[in-house]
Amino acid sequence: MTDDALLAAAQVSKAWPFEEARKLVKRYPDGKPGGAPVLFETGYGPSGLPHIGTFQEVLRTTLVRRAYEVLTGGAPTRLVAFSDDMDGLRKVPDNIPNKGLLTAYLGHPLTRIPDPFDKYESFAHHNNAMLREFLDRFGFDYEFVSSSQLYNSGQFDDALKGVLRHYQAIMDIMLPTLRAERAATYSPVLPVSEKTHQVLQVPIEVVDAEAGIIRFDDHGDMVEQSILGGKSKLQWKVDWAMRWVALGVDYEMCGKDLTDSVRESGKIARALGGRAPEGMIYELFLDENGEKISKSKGNGLTIEQWLTYGSEESLGLFLYREPKSAKSLHAGIIPKAVDEYWQFREKIPAQAVEQQLGNPAWHLLRANGQAQGEGESLAVTYALLLNLVGVLGAAATRAQVWSYLANYVADADPVRHPELDKLVTTALAYNRDFVAPTLQRRKPEANEALALAALDEELAATSDDATAEELQNIVYEIGKDPHYGFEQLRDWFKALYETLLGSAQGPRMGSFIALYGIANTRKLIAEALG
């Protein structure tokens, strides 16, 4: 693929990362002034541990970043992972130890609250470390930026003075959006009390914008205090806008729940003399019952859970696809995502450039610095692997699975097939937790029993080194024989899945028989007929 061909295809590609990236090309037709890098930002609230929403935002933003670099022939870019750790603690999370310790610090900035895990200098420092570890695990190229660092060091001081200079304009934007009781006490600036060290939600009066001085009621005393050097924090929507302007953010995406925030923060950014970034509003996840994912309800799926049952690449594929459509996020979707990723990846070398740019695996590989689909293809689909593990039972071991893979995979060895070996481990976990507890093989109907007996007879006469295709043809011929009364071939396959595998769906039976072995398959048939 030549650079010219890649650029020409990227300019018209309908893949959403390129559609998003073209917004930035339009924003800066001649590049960002002074040759400065285009700044992509993602936000993280460290009042809790990083989760799948954090991952999806960094991944999706990285995909847009890489697409922009293709469109511009490698124009400079930066990705900032911003931690809003100056925020006051509103609620003690459920998933931490020493909850009573944090209760005493409600309202305090997160960086000034003790670490309940007793590992870092503050709760925010702990969660920020988890965020960096989390992002590093996936190989993201990013810069970590801490809100408290920028507030406390004075790097936000000029921007904070700008908020005071435009205080009334900001109030005029925000007050119409608030309920009457909230509007009565609203302030875009939240001073940090020198008495209690809490972030206060109180009305303020601007005393001297250029000096950064305000007046407010601090627990019964009217005080004048600077908002500079970490002595204040801005309200969320104002803070977001101030950050866009102060840092020069060019692109930031967010969830549908922040639609109003994007609109109002954009107005505030303009009032501050800046410009809102480009961005995409993505849909939120649903659980298997169609309800919105909620951390407090615990009805979601964590990164750790996904990676217990599937691969990092399959998670990337799930997050890549249709970001503006609501999607169900639950363990049942993982096997299909694993196989679909590899289907996309295996297509890349034979695809024309236009097709590659529409291939999710192409984008996911570039996110990790790979331009082509290097690496092995899977010799065994995840669905087939799950069927094998299913018949082996919940007590199956990794070594046992590899002993069967030797029937099917050339040079079957976990060292030679690392990607497949990872999936052996996840398949064992998936079978243990989701398949084995519900596995139930039904007895065959009379006509199905006759067909199974015929299959057994054919297999008895078949060589052990028969190919998967040859075995598949045997299965086909029995299903098509009118003697056995199957109206459609799928009825025969469904009978095989339900009586031999205990599943409503299954693999190509020829592939399964080749993998599991003819003798073992005949034992399954005998058990079904017994």
Q: How far, rounded to the nearest angstrom, does the alpha carbon of residue 334 sit from its chain's CA centroid?
A: 13
pLDDT of residue 288: 77
- In sequence order, which residues have a C-beta less than 8 Å from that of residue 398 and are 6 or more positions away? 414, 421, 424, 425, 428
Question: Buried b vs exposed e over 469-478: b needs ≥16 C-beta within 10 Å?
Answer: eebbebbeeb
Question: Buried b vs exposed e over 322-343: b needs ≥16 C-beta within 10 Å?
Answer: ebeeeeebbbebbbebbbbbbe
The 10 Å Cβ neighbour count of residue 434 is 16
Structure tokens at 407: 């029937």
Residue with tokens 């920028």: 150
pLDDT of residue 208: 98
pLDDT of residue 58: 94
DSSP assignment letter at 371: -
pLDDT of residue 371: 60
- In sequence order, which residues have a C-beta less than 8 Å from that of residue 91 and are 6 or more positions away? 47, 106
CATH 3.90.1150.10 fits 3-153, yes or no: no
pLDDT of residue 297: 55
pLDDT of residue 188: 97
Q: Distance from first CA to last CA of the chain, Å, rounded? A: 59
Question: Which CB contacts under 8 angstroms, 24+ apart, belong to 146-150?
Answer: 146/83, 146/85, 146/111, 147/82, 147/83, 147/84, 147/85, 147/86, 147/87, 147/239, 148/85, 148/86, 148/109, 148/110, 148/111, 148/124, 148/230, 150/246
Residue ranges per structural domain of the chain: 3-153, 285-367, 382-438, 446-529
pLDDT of residue 50: 72
pLDDT of residue 15: 98
The pLDDT tens digits along the chain (530 residues) read 578 999 999 999 999 999 999 999 999 999 999 999 999 999 988 776 677 888 899 999 999 999 999 999 999 999 999 999 888 888 887 777 888 888 888 888 888 889 888 899 988 898 889 888 888 888 899 999 999 999 999 999 999 999 999 999 999 999 999 999 999 999 999 999 999 999 999 999 999 999 999 999 999 999 999 999 999 999 999 999 999 999 999 999 999 999 999 999 999 999 999 999 999 999 998 877 777 776 545 556 888 899 999 999 999 999 999 999 998 899 999 999 999 999 999 999 999 999 999 999 999 999 877 665 555 588 899 999 999 999 998 889 999 999 999 988 888 899 999 999 999 999 999 999 999 998 889 999 999 999 999 999 999 999 999 999 999 999 999 999 999 999 999 999 999 999 999 988 888 999 999 999 999 999 999 999 98
d(CA 529, CA 369): 53
DSSP string, 10-79: HHH--SHHHHHHHHHHHH-TT-SGGGPPEEEEEEE-TTS---HHHHHHHHHHHHHHHHHHHHTTS--EEE
pLDDT of residue 69: 96
CATH topology classification for 446-529: Arc Repressor Mutant, subunit A (1.10.10)
d(CA 223, CA 193): 10
> Looking at 279-414, which runs of residues are DSSP E strands?
281-282, 285-286, 327-328
pLDDT of residue 294: 61
